[in-house]
Amino acid sequence: MRIVAFNGSPRGPRSNTDRLLLPFLEGAQEAGATTEVVYLKEQRIEYCQGCFNCWVVTPGVCIHDDDMAALLDKIRAADVIVYATPLYVFTMSAQMKTFLDRHIPLAAPFIVKRGDQYIHPMRHPEAWPKKVVLISNCGFPERHHFSGLLETFRVYTSSPDLELAGAILCTAGELLGQKSASKWVNWYIEATRQAGREVVEVGHITLETQQVLEKPLVKAALYSRMANMYFKRTIKKQR
């Protein structure tokens, strides 16, 4: 099984997103998968111009000559795609959104009925279906911040070509990178590693592991006290 993971944090390898993504991939490797991580901040990915040239003028080929063509090849070759993004304004980072917009050459323009919905068929049907895993973390301690992001990925994977194999959505994510917080974080990292194993071994994150991953790292009141103490210490005095 081949897994390609895209980290959409502007912090790249120093991100809290990576604190979740890497153990997930380690678990997947332990179960026999081949994995690769692409840091979107290191890629040149122009904005989609909405011209639809990739649909009607040069089918399958975007007007931009940047790093995206090679990334689409990686997606086509993968069995599982991991989208790993910090939560920015209740959704994915701009890097991840720009990347997703540029997936459009993978699909053909036709609108066809599959099951009970209309979809764009994939341009290379032999490369699909694929599984998708969503990984995110956010700065607030409450899960409802993820509701928009999760719904976006539920709709995105509702076609027969994609299946959402699980979502790892970690609140209070700023604890993930703190060495002093390891006692609150280690069990969550272990569940993330287990999720990676399960995606390879059973094709999805099991309900049991998913339920563990929905538990908070710490109580919201404690997290807010710690965060506020940190900011009081750290904020520079205004002149």
Is-cis flag, bond preceding 129, omega within 30? yes
23: contact with ligand FMN by CB under 6 A: no
Shortest spacing between CB 143 and ligand FMN, in angstroms: 10
Min dist CB 94 to ligand FMN, Å, is 9
Subset of 99-138 contacting ligand FMN (CB under 6 A): 137-138
Which is closer to ligand FMN, CB of 11 or CB of 97?
11
- Residue-wise DSSP of 121-182: PBSSGGG--EEEEEEEE-SSS-GGGGHHHHHHHHHHT-STTEEEEEEEEESSGGGTT-GGGH
Minimum CB distance to ligand FMN smaller for 16 or for 98: 16
Residue 90 as a binder of ligand FMN (CB under 6 A): the answer is yes
Nearer to ligand FMN, 28 or 87 (CB): 87
Chain positions 68 to 87 lying near ligand FMN, rule: CB under 6 A, are 86-87
Give 9's Cβ-side CA count (13 Å radius).
23
Shorter beta-carbon distance to ligand FMN: residue 11 or 74: 11
In the complex, the smallest distance separating the C-beta of residue 196 from ligand FMN, rounded to whole angstroms, is: 18
Tell me how many degrees the CA angle 44-46-49 measures, rounded to the nearest 5. Answer: 165
Please give the size of the binding site for ligand FMN, defined by CB under 6 A.
Answer: 17
Longest dimension (CA), the chain: 63
How far apart, in whole angstroms, are the C-alpha atoms of residue 213 and residue 181?
17
Interaction between residue 139 and ligand FMN (CB under 6 A):
yes
CB distance 55 to 108 below 8 Å: yes
174 counts as binding ligand FMN under rule CB under 6 A: yes
Between residues 10 and 203, which has the closer beta carbon with respect to ligand FMN? 10
Q: 162-170 and 117-119 as β-strands: parallel, antiparallel, unpaired?
A: unpaired
Q: Which amino acid is at 27?
A: G
Instruction: Determine which residue in the list 131, 145, 193, 197 makes contact with ligand FMN, applying CB under 6 A.
Output: 145
Q: How many CB atoms lie within 10 A of CB 238?
A: 4
Residue 17 contacts ligand FMN per CB under 6 A: yes
Q: Which residues contact ligand FMN (rule: CB under 6 A)?
A: 9, 11, 15-17, 86-90, 137-140, 145, 173-174
